[in-house]
Amino acid sequence: MARRETDIPEDLEKLPTAEAAALAKVQAVQEELRLGEAFIQAHRGQLWDAPAARPYLRLRMALACLLERNAQWKEARSHFEALLRFTPADPQRASLHLAHTLAQQGDLEALSALVAHQEPTPFWLWMKLLLLVRQEQLKQAQTLLRQAQQANRHVLALLQGRARPRKANLEAKPHTAEHAAALLKHLAPAWSASREAMYWLMKIEAETSAKS
């Protein structure tokens, strides 16, 4: 299977997370110096479209993901935000990681601003649902839950642990179990970071089961 642009390179994956992050940082700085500030600024907003910049962007993404894995939310956030400034079209899907990071930080204002600019895909519907629950806008959350369920009915069972994820494939059709399993990588830790949000999901399931 071809590796995705968001993957951490194999040589870094073999190392302990902290060591891999330190190495990725060194390599990213070297690539940034190679490109030069003038080049980066000249292509700002479309940096991914410049092939010469892609090694740098891949390393910057790898560094951000390693920091995220190590729960270094503040540091990871700065890199994800930089990647989105470099290329707002987000070919590396940095926004998915950023949403998880903001949820972990509890920065609901920033998360709300991020969600507001996204298309109503299953991931962003479920992330917006999390936001509404954490903001205690439960009436709106009930309404959005139905929309999120229609977009991908598999996500709820995965989040609640009632189903086991199948083979994950983010490129699969949005309504499929495979797509839901891929989203779980970002959604599950974001939801689990809020005890109240997980309790709300369990309550919803209990109420649904009682009615059936």
Tokens of 74: 């503040």
State how far the Cα of 195 lies from the Cα of 202, in Å rounded to an integer: 11
Asked if 115 and 190 touch (Cβ cutoff 8 Å), the reply is: no
Are residue 146 and residue 85 in the same domain, yes or no?
A: no
**Confidence at residue 212, expressed as pLDDT on a 0 to 100 scale:** 56
**pLDDT for residue 8:** 87
In a domain, 137, yes or no: yes
CA distances from 105 to 4, 150, 166, 189 (A): 26, 29, 29, 12
Last residue of a domain, one of 63, 92, 121: 92
* Domain identity same for 147 and 61: no
111, 88: one domain? no
How would you write the pLDDT of the chain (212 residues) with one tens digit per residue? Answer: 334 545 788 899 999 999 999 999 999 999 999 999 999 999 999 999 999 999 999 999 999 999 999 999 999 999 999 999 999 999 999 999 999 999 999 999 999 999 999 999 999 999 999 999 999 999 999 999 999 999 999 999 999 888 888 789 999 999 999 999 999 999 999 999 999 999 998 888 777 666 65
Considering the domain architecture, whether residues 86 and 119 belong to the same structural domain is answered as no
Return left, alpha or beta for 71; rule: phi > 0 is left, psi -120 to 50 is alpha, else beta: left
Write the CB contacts of 53 (distance below 8 Å, at least 6 apart in sequence): 35, 39, 40, 43, 47, 86
The pTM score is: 0.91
- Our CA angle for 112, 102, 127, nearest 5°, is 55
- At 64, the amino acid letter reads A
**70 plus 170 within the same structural domain:** no
Q: CB–CB of 63/79 below 8 Å?
A: yes
Domain identity same for 85 and 111: no
Sign of dihedral through CA atoms 116, 63, 26, 88? negative
pLDDT in tens, 10-56: 899 999 999 999 999 999 999 999 999 999 999 999 999 999 999 99
Q: Are residues 60 and 125 in the same domain?
A: no
Residue 98 is assigned to a structural domain of this protein: no
How far is residue 100's CA from residue 193's CA, in Å, rounded to a whole number?
9
Among the candidates 38, 69, 92, a domain finishes at 92
User: Looking at the domain assignment, is residue 99 inside a domain?
Assistant: no
How far, in Å, are 3, 44, 55, 205 from residue 47 at the CA level?
A: 21, 6, 11, 45
Total tally of structural domains belonging to the chain = 2
Beta strands in 8-57 (DSSP E): none
Q: Are residues 212 and 114 in the same domain?
A: yes
| Domain ranges, residue 84 | 1-92
Whole-angstrom CA distances from 102 to 31, 67, 86 are 27, 13, 19
Rg, the chain, Cα only: 18
Residues 127 and 162 placed together within one structural domain of the fold: yes
